[in-house]
Structure 1
Amino acid sequence: MGQAVRGADRVMQELHREMIPARAPWSRVINKGETLRIIDTHGQQAVDFLCYNAHDFDERYHEPNTIKKAGHILLSVGDVLYSDRANPLFTITADTFGGHDTIGGCCSEPSNRMLYGVPNTGCRENFLAALKPHGLGWRDIVPNVNWFMTVPVGAAGDAAIALGSSKPGDHVDIRAEMDVLAVISNCPQVLNPCNNFDPTAIEVVVFG
């Protein structure tokens, strides 16, 4: 067992700790009541995130339900990630960054070609690699959360991905409200400023 830390309302015991290399995919089932901490170890690193009911993959993260319930598009402490069946998947219990993106979606080889003329591997390809062992694929990738990334929206509705502004060691804690398959793409993007054009490693910790 790892170290114990105090969560929002109780002492939590460390169950698992792992570094996710720059540009890499990752997945793990987070059991109900456990907390997943995502740490931006170097700063300015976007982390694309999807999640699914671990016992019924047809139920998965739903951007519109999450935004409508929160009443805003940038997530922080107290906000809940809702499923397409309007059930809570994760609750944000701690956050040193504040204002995580819900509308930018994930980059991909096709979108990089469309936007930048270069078919670089993106987060969609990482998601596909992480989902394959669970029997999931292209049709199971939905608009995702982007931790440590912001997409400011102007009064006229204009929007653009902002330069990564998270600091080394910034983290977000999310508590599982059911058994959840959590899926991460440690974003490989170098063609827009979400990673300050320099993807870096992150760390994940699971507390129970």
Structure 2
Amino acid sequence: MKHEIPGDAALSIPVRTGRALTLTALADNANASVLIIGPDRLDRLNIPDTLKSQMTARIHAGLVLMSDRGLALATVTASTLDWHDCLTGFISSHLLLLELRKHGLGEADLHGPINFFTKIGIDTQAGLAFVPGHATVGDSVTIRAEQDLLVFISTAPHPFATSPAGAVGVQVGPAEADDPDGLRPEALRALELVR
């Protein structure tokens, strides 16, 4: 299954357990703000727990994306970039709300997103700053669904960006075999809870 989301648009897509979702930047400075909701619609991606339990401040390959109940929703299995932003939110909830409503969800279901293809650094005043040129055409990231998921993707520009965001390709297909090497105990426990 393949889709192309133009810049400043949105898509929602179901991803079954064990399948892989690959996002590909079809333009420089692409941004894909992603929300993830589990099968019972109670579990949502919890950025603080995901980061705290795995001792990181960025999304990268090898990270388990956890729900607010400590369950594994997905695992980042591959990425051409070593940094995806998850600290700065999204520019507008409008596109994501349109997609949420298609599934009987609404504002209460908005949660902290991952901004795939975007990097945020520290500026000279010790504040957060957008890093231009981080993603280029062809960069990609793949996540493996550890549960049946609803994934919501917005290609609106990142809140810190100064230029429009480009198109993003979406593909769902077979996932790579599980490789738990290098995972922290908290991530392994989150995976065990859903298997």
* TM category, shorter: 0.7 to 0.9
* Structure 2 counterpart SS, 1:178: coil
Higher strand share: 1
Two-structure CA RMSD over aligned residues (Å):
1.8
| Structure 1, gaps ≥5 residues long | 1-15, 109-123
Residue 205 (str. 1) matches residue 171 (str. 2): yes
Q: 1:96 aligns with which of 80, 93, 102?
A: 80
Task: State the Cα deviation string for residues 43-92 of structure 1 (Å, max 9, x = none).
Answer: 211110000012x1121000111111221111111001100011011101
Q: How far, CA to CA, are the matches of 2:91 and 2:42 in structure 1?
A: 23
| C-alpha contact 1:24 1:126 (8 A) present in aligned 2 | yes
Query: Cα offset for 1:154?
Result: 6.2
CA–CA distance in 2 between the matches of 1:157 and 1:192? 15
Is residue 2:14 matched to residue 1:23? no
Aligned twin of 2:131: 162
CA drift of 1:140 comes to 0.8
Find the partner of 2:54 among 66, 70, 74.
70
User: Helix, strand or coil for the counterpart of 2:42?
Assistant: strand
1:58 correspondence with 2:42: yes
Query: Take 1:201 and 1:154, find their aligned partners in 2: how far apart are those partners?
Result: 28
- Stretches of structure 2 lacking an aligned partner (at least 5 in a row): 175-195
Question: Matches of 2:122 and 2:33 in 1, distance apart?
Answer: 19
Contact 1:148 1:164 survives alignment (8 Å): no
- From the superposition, tell whether residues 201 and 155 of structure 1 become closer, same or farther in structure 2 (CA, over 3 Å): closer
Report the AA paired with residue 31 of structure 1: R
Q: Between Structure 1 and Structure 2, how many residues are aligned? A: 174
Q: Which amino acid aligns with 1:171?
A: S
1:84 aligned to which of 39, 58, 68: 68
CA distance in 1, matches of 2:123, 2:50: 21
1:171 maps to what in 2? 140
- For the pair 1:48 / 2:17, whether they are aligned, the reply is no
Cα shift at 1:199: 2.3
* Structure 1 segments (4+ residues) deviating >6 Å: none
Which amino acid is the alignment partner of residue 87 of structure 1? L
Contact kept in structure 1, 2:12 and 2:151, CA below 8 Å: yes
Counterpart of 2:95 in structure 1 is: 126
SS at match of 2:152: strand
Once the 2 structures are TM-superposed, how far is the Cα of residue 151 of structure 1 from its aligned partner? 1.6
Instruction: Determine the C-alpha separation between the residues in 1 that align with 2:118 and 2:47.
Output: 16
Is 1:35 paired with 2:20? yes
CA distance in 1, matches of 2:8, 2:124: 34
